[in-house]
Amino acid sequence: MSDTAHKTDGFQPRIVAFFCNWCTYTAADLAGTARMTYAPNVRVVRVMCSGRLDPQFIMEAFRNGADGVLIGGCHPGDCHYQAGNYKALRRYILLKRVMKEMGIEEGRFRLEWIAASEGDKVQRVINEMTETIRKLGPLHLEPVNIPATAHVQVGTDKAAVAARGGVS
Amino acid sequence: MSKPKVAFYWCASCGGCEEAVVDLNEDILGVVQAVDIVFWPVALDFKRQDVEAMDDGSITVSFINGAIRSSEQYEMVELLRRKSKIVIAFGSCAHLGGIPGLANTFDRAAMLKEAYLESPSVTSGNTTIPQTEITVPEGKLTLPELWDTVKSLDQTIKVDYYLPGCPPPANLIKEAVTTILEGRLPEPGTILAPDIALCEDCPRRETKPDKLIIEQFKRPSQYIIDPDQCILAQGFLCLGSVTRKGCGAVCIEGNMPCTGCMGPTSRVKDFGAKAMSAIASLIDADDEEKITKIIDGMADPVGTFYRYSLPASIIHRSYQKPDGGGAHNGA
Amino acid sequence: MSVPENRTNGTPKIGVYICHCGINIANKVNIKETVDFAAKLPYVTVAKEYKFMCSDPGQELIQQDIRAGLIDRVVVASCSPLMHEATFRNATGEGGANPFMFQMANIREHVSWVTFDKDAATVKAKALIAAAVHRVSLHRPLEQTRVPVHPDVLVVGGGIAGIHASLTLANAGKKVYLVEREPTIGGHMAKFDKTFPTLDCSACILTPKMSAVRAHPNITLWTYSEVVGVEGFVGNFKVKVRRKPRYVDEDLCVGCLECIEACIFKKGKFPDEFNQGLSQRKPIYIPFPQATPLVAVIDPETCAHFKTGKCKKPCADACQPGAVKFDQTEEIKEVAVGSVILATGFKAFDAARVGRYGYGKYPNIYTSLEIERLVNAAGPTGGELKMADGRKPKSVGIVHCVGSRDNNTNAYCSRVCCMYSLKLAHLIKERTEAEVYNFYIDMRTPGKGYEEFYERLLKENVHFIRGRVAEINDWAMIDEEKGHLIIRVEDTLIGRVRRVPVDMVVLSVGLEAQPDADAVRRLFNISCSHEGWFLERHPKLAPVSTFTEGIFLAGACQGPKDIPDCVAQAGAAAAEALALIDKGSVELEPNTAFVNEEVCAGCHTCLNVCPYGAISYIKEINKARVNGALCKGCGTCVAACPSGALQQNLFTDEQIMNEIKGVMNHV
């Protein structure tokens, strides 16, 4: 049992996980049935297949305050729908490149193949990811709309960063 | 009854949108006759003070093009918003942030450094970066503040309608102007272009293969585009399937791929994300290495997928750590 | 929350019901706090808690509130939707709302059971409830499609499980296709001499069932055949079966063995698979006298005609009915079935993988399966157990847990080895009067009459030494050990390392998943455990079902089990298939994709993305169209659709987006 599952103080990352119904969601259920305690930081959104995942969902999760996003799908060759996970992989690789260019650290966005029987992998991946993001710190995306006081925000770059809601 | 008052204003833009208004040719004369143009800095000599002097809400419609990236631009559009009944975001930059919005992959400091200190065209030894305020013997000089982040118009003020495109197609402008002047106001927030993707109007739509796959991404500068075949099917990143129609597929007619200036349909929130999803789905590989290899063949994915829409995207701008370090270096 | 009122037929009225699940949830999640939280979420008109929401009174709560007009959609925060989604959809439907105006928040498997800290668990439960509330506010009424269930069943594997399942179904009047890879059905059980604990003759109880399969008018038996393709879905599978050429016409062969007699090989020359290679067969052979079907088969790998082309083919000349047909080719059969029972069995652990036990290195070390053949009257030695030099063994050591309960090989217990080791101990003692030593870690004899059998063996003076065997070799240290195999073991009962010299060693090998289990499960689109066993839908409540509707499991393909368990499970699988057939139709999950034709631009992106060919392009109108009967609801096309013209029922973009907002924005 790692400390991660028990840690209650300090920064608690919030991670949105998109799990496919047939493999990873089932594996997460299995982890539950087996009472494998893990970090409470992941919140699972169930989709039928990782192929359903539109990069907009991932970005929306970040936009809504997620510090990390985890995608869980069936292992290559195991997709319940034959090939949805390959589509997920293609989108993930492209999206990851774009995310990186957009300055979002790699550790915040992860895809894992987790089979229905791999409850222990759910535990391990979630603990690992929580730990990684704990080290990276919170993700503060700049608010989209201009704050009412924006027109007086002149001065140093630091102030500009603060205006983006950088430090809270 | 007095003629409706109309204002045009430009912010961070290239001037192409102004050109588009002029491109209405003789139709512009009809517009000019139908309306009073009360503010159009690029063409007519009105000043800010003239606008400030107007009553709030006295301008019928303001057409604002360009993205918002400086305190001056913000002050101006805020002013126009106050004075106008209707504000129309005119063109890709006002609509989605546009090409100037790609600056959102950098931060201001990096950008100023590149532009004023490190660019090869800068005199070596230059150490001067523009300041918002400087005191010289003659007195205090000021400049507008350059924002760290480029915004689309609706991220700064309330926008009633959007005329998309880089620049907006003449027929859509005419239609919009007519509709509004005739008082047939669409639902607020409407994008004044057909809500369906460009492929429908594509002259090459018959040539689309059923099995649409991409084995390699090609760039128009490296390969010749077959003028009779679906451009995407040839491996060139044509974003017509993601992009609103209404432009008449002029780029395709010119044998160039659609780059997405008309923005997404109403059902898509983030143009680039959706485009990535669609395009990646077509990649003809299943293992990580092959997929990566094909994707590596794509030059500048952010610039490609978010060419016109980075500020309006869900992520909005590149992420900078609160400590000011910035995960990106502007490279 | 982004729910324009006009889109959902007025303002949603959401009921949130939070389940204690006894103490399973209530022990970790602060229920009261969660209910108060839920009550304040947008559009929530009712927030309640109950001890067991899945109980009748729990479901009644929901129904009453719907009937009273308090709510028009439901969130239940309890266990996994994979567990009780159907229950609560039904309850919602019974109450008078559309069953799909329901969403579940999994606060047991995903929260209370996996979270250490109570506050953290409560926060997480709240987030999941908020997500469900946001999502359900955008749910729309949906109708389920019913499709008929094809009444025929495919059974894969002709061991005892497959045989029993086939006969059960056939006796109920259903048509069964039984596909077996080997030239005969019978599986492992046909190789056994006796069965524990009753010591029934294995062949005597099995072969009548084998004959019944052959004779049953409702069973189509395809041996020497493999399933090569599976398409479709519950009630409507299309299966392709490859029938390998056996070069003997099954309809003409009478099983007279003349062909075998006539073969140019005068004696058997090639390892006989049925006898674990302990005897030799000819290229044309019948695996064993009760093989079913009793039809010869030619092994092209060893047949002189196939190898050299120079054989005069005396077998063909000797066959009066003219059944030998060298020009036979493989055949692909296509059948339609409504359900499938997988009974593909196990593979015995390869004892050579535990090098220190000397298997293959020293003579007189056998695996348990080899001993089964050696003590079998129909086996290669006529039932005589002899050593390599022809002597009867005076002492035999039986080593338990070879390839079981061992982190170097398989961590799990193979369940049958203790009992069959006892059986073999009895048989060896009976046949040879040798001293028999059992080396065991723990004796595991749960089962009817099993412990009693162990007691009996103790009385038969079989020796039991508790300890895992360290090594087996022939390195004698004292004269008494010379010419013997020495079993080194720590006897944990007396706390000493012992060296036990014996004449013969039996390695009680464990059970492993079939080497091609992975390929088979992919074919049938089901899951496997780490060890390769097919994964049941639920270990307790759906032990013969899989995550793919209409595919059932029987026998050792699901995990090690003995014959009674295999038969029981086969019966259960047959009953599941029967229930499906007799229901006559299945309701499909209405999570199919659909095209909004008004806004589809005909861009073709979706066409090739669909793995089922469910999307076609209608040229005349330049639109894509989803065939709902073919769509299985993965949603891959929806994510790919560049202009948002495709959506998926139950998983629309808006619903998922709202779930994301819900899960993030309240806690």
- Residues C451-503: pLDDT tens digits? 999 999 999 999 999 999 999 999 999 999 999 999 999 999 999 999 999 99
Chain A within 8 Å of C85 (Cβ-Cβ)? Answer: no
Q: Do residue B196 and residue C643 have CB atoms under 8 angstroms apart?
A: yes
3-state class (DSSP) for residue B180: helix
Residue A154 has pLDDT above 70, yes or no: no
- Residue keyed to tokens 């924002």: B147
- Check: CB of residue B148 under 8 Å from CB of residue A160: yes
What gap in Å lies between CA A121 and CA A134, rounded to an integer? 19
Residue C610 has pLDDT above 80, yes or no: yes
Q: Are residues C532 and C472 in the same domain?
A: no
Q: Are residues C438 and C475 in the same domain?
A: yes
Output the CA–CA distances (angstroms, integers) from residue A120 to A80, B26, B243, C470, in the order listed: 21, 72, 44, 31
Output the CA–CA distances (angstroms, integers) from residue C655 to C63, C388, C484, in the order listed: 24, 73, 74
Q: Do residue A26 and residue C82 have CB atoms under 8 angstroms apart?
A: yes
Q: What CATH code is carried by the domain that includes residue A23? A: 3.40.50.960
Question: What's the pLDDT at A3?
Answer: 64
Angle of helix C202-215 relative to helix C160-171, nearest 10 degrees, comes to: 40
Q: Are residues C172 and C265 in the same domain?
A: no
In a domain? residue B190: no
Question: What's the pLDDT at C2?
Answer: 44
> Which residue stretches of chain B have pLDDT < 70?
1, 322-331
Please give the residue range of the domain that contains residue B54: 5-99+149-181
Amino acid (one-letter) located at C467: G
Nearest residue to A90 via CA among C624, C639, C526: C639
- Secondary structure of C14-27 in the HEC alphabet? EEEEEECCCCCCCC
Q: Are residues B133 and B224 in the same domain?
A: no
Q: Do residue B274 and residue C609 have CB atoms under 8 angstroms apart?
A: no
Question: What's the pLDDT at A161?
Answer: 39
In a domain? residue A47: yes
Does the predicted model carry a pTM greater than 0.90?
Answer: no
In a domain? residue B226: yes
**Model confidence over C205-259: pLDDT tens digits?**
999 999 999 999 999 999 999 999 999 889 999 999 999 999 999 999 999 999 9
Q: What CATH code is carried by the domain that includes residue C611? A: 3.30.70.20
In a domain? residue A76: yes
Distance from CA of A151 to the nearest CA of B (A): 6
Residue C7 has pLDDT above 70, yes or no: no
In a domain? residue A163: no
In a domain? residue A5: no
What tokens were used for C490?
A: 């720590």
Q: Do residue A31 and residue C109 have CB atoms under 8 angstroms apart?
A: yes
Q: Are residues C399 and C262 in the same domain?
A: no
Please say which residue of C143, C174, C202 terminates a domain: C143
Q: Which chains touch A (3 or more CB pairs under 8 A)?
A: B, C
Chain B within 8 Å of A135 (Cβ-Cβ)? Answer: no
Please give the residue range of the domain that contains residue A114: 11-138
Nearest residue to C132 via CA among C108, C110, C102: C102
In a domain? residue C655: no
Q: Which residue of A has its CA nearest to C663?
A: A43
Q: Are residues C166 and C48 in the same domain?
A: no
Q: Do residue A102 and residue B319 have CB atoms under 8 angstroms apart?
A: yes
In a domain? residue A89: yes
Q: Are residues B111 and B93 in the same domain?
A: no
Q: Are residues C308 and C210 in the same domain?
A: no
- The residue-averaged pLDDT of C189-213 equals 95
Tally of domains within chain B: 3
Residues of A in contact with B298 (CB under 8 A): 94
Q: Do residue C657 and residue A56 have CB atoms under 8 angstroms apart?
A: yes
Q: Do residue A103 and residue B326 have CB atoms under 8 angstroms apart?
A: yes
Q: Are residues B277 and B139 in the same domain?
A: no
**Burial of C145 per CB tally in 10 Å (0-12, 13-18, 19+):** middle
Q: Which of B105, B152, B286 would best serve as a mutation to test chain A binding (most A beta carbons within 10 A)?
A: B286
A29, A49, A84 member nearest C80 (Cβ): A29
Q: Are residues B64 and B131 in the same domain?
A: no
| ipTM greater than 0.85 | yes
Chain A within 8 Å of C117 (Cβ-Cβ)? Answer: yes
**Model confidence over B235-261: pLDDT tens digits?**
999 999 999 999 999 999 999 999 999
Q: How far, in whole angstroms, is CA C405 from its chain's centroid?
A: 21
Please say which residue of C512, C542, C569 terminates a domain: C512
Output the CA–CA distances (angstroms, integers) from residue C198 to C159, C206, C436, C442, in the order listed: 20, 14, 20, 22
Torsion of CA C402, C406, C412, C414, to 10 degrees: 10
What single DSSP character describes residue B196?
Answer: S
Q: Are residues C40 and C78 in the same domain?
A: yes
Q: Are residues B111 and B258 in the same domain?
A: no
Distance from CA of A58 to the nearest CA of C (A): 9
In a domain? residue A160: no
Question: What's the pLDDT at A136?
Answer: 95
What gap in Å lies between CA C392 and CA C389, rounded to an integer? 9
**Model confidence over C22-72: pLDDT tens digits?**
999 999 999 999 999 999 999 999 999 999 999 999 999 999 999 999 999
Chain A within 8 Å of C127 (Cβ-Cβ)? Answer: yes
- The residue-averaged pLDDT of C127-150 equals 96
Q: Are residues C507 and C381 in the same domain?
A: yes
Residue A164 has pLDDT above 50, yes or no: no
Nearest residue to C488 via CA among C501, C499, C479: C499
**Model confidence over B277-314: pLDDT tens digits?**
999 999 999 999 999 999 999 989 999 999 999 999 99
In a domain? residue A23: yes
Chain B 177-216, residues with CB within 8 Å of chain C CB atoms? 195-200, 205, 208-213
Question: What's the pLDDT at C611?
Answer: 87
Tell me chain C's radius of gyration from C-alpha atoms: 31
Q: Are residues C124 and C84 in the same domain?
A: yes
**Model confidence over C492-542: pLDDT tens digits?**
999 999 999 999 999 999 999 999 999 999 899 888 888 999 999 888 889
Q: Are residues C209 and C284 in the same domain?
A: no
In a domain? residue C249: no
What tokens were used for C129?
A: 């409830």
Tally of domains within chain A: 1
Please give the residue range of the domain that contains residue C107: 14-143
Q: How far, in whole angstroms, is CA C368 from its chain's centroid?
A: 24
In a domain? residue B315: no
Chain B within 8 Å of A107 (Cβ-Cβ)? Answer: no
Tally of domains within chain C: 5
In a domain? residue B247: yes
Q: Are residues B67 and B140 in the same domain?
A: no
Q: Are residues B11 and B47 in the same domain?
A: yes
Residues of C in contact with A6 (CB under 8 A): 116-117
- Check: CB of residue B268 under 8 Å from CB of residue C643: yes
Output the CA–CA distances (angstroms, integers) from residue C459 to C416, C454, C464, in the order listed: 21, 9, 11
Question: What's the pLDDT at A2?
Answer: 52
B209, B242, B269 member nearest C643 (Cβ): B242
Show the DSSP H helices in C367-476 as ranges.
Answer: 368-374, 417-432, 450-459
Q: Which residue of A has its CA nearest to C104?
A: A46
Q: Which chains touch B (3 or more CB pairs under 8 A)?
A: A, C
- Residue keyed to tokens 């063994």: C393
Q: Are residues B67 and B121 in the same domain?
A: no
Torsion of CA B27, B33, B36, B41, to 10 degrees: 40
Residues of C in contact with A40 (CB under 8 A): 111, 114-117, 120-121, 123-124
Distance from CA of B117 to the nearest CA of C (A): 42
Chain B within 8 Å of A159 (Cβ-Cβ)? Answer: no
Mean pLDDT of chain B: 92
Distance from CA of C615 to the nearest CA of B (A): 11
Please say which residue of C512, C531, C558 terminates a domain: C512
Q: Are residues B140 and B159 in the same domain?
A: no
In a domain? residue A152: no
In a domain? residue B169: yes
DSSP for chain A?
A: --GGGT--SS----EEEEEETTTHHHHHHHHHHTT----TTEEEEEES-GGG--HHHHHHHHHTT-SEEEEEEPPTT--TTSSHHHHHHHHHHHHHHHHHHTT--GGGEEEEE--TT-HHHHHHHHHHHHHHHHHH----PPPSSPPTTGGG--S-HHHHHHHTT---
Q: Which residue of C has its CA nearest to A79?
A: C525
In a domain? residue C470: yes
Q: Do residue C603 and residue B199 have CB atoms under 8 angstroms apart?
A: yes
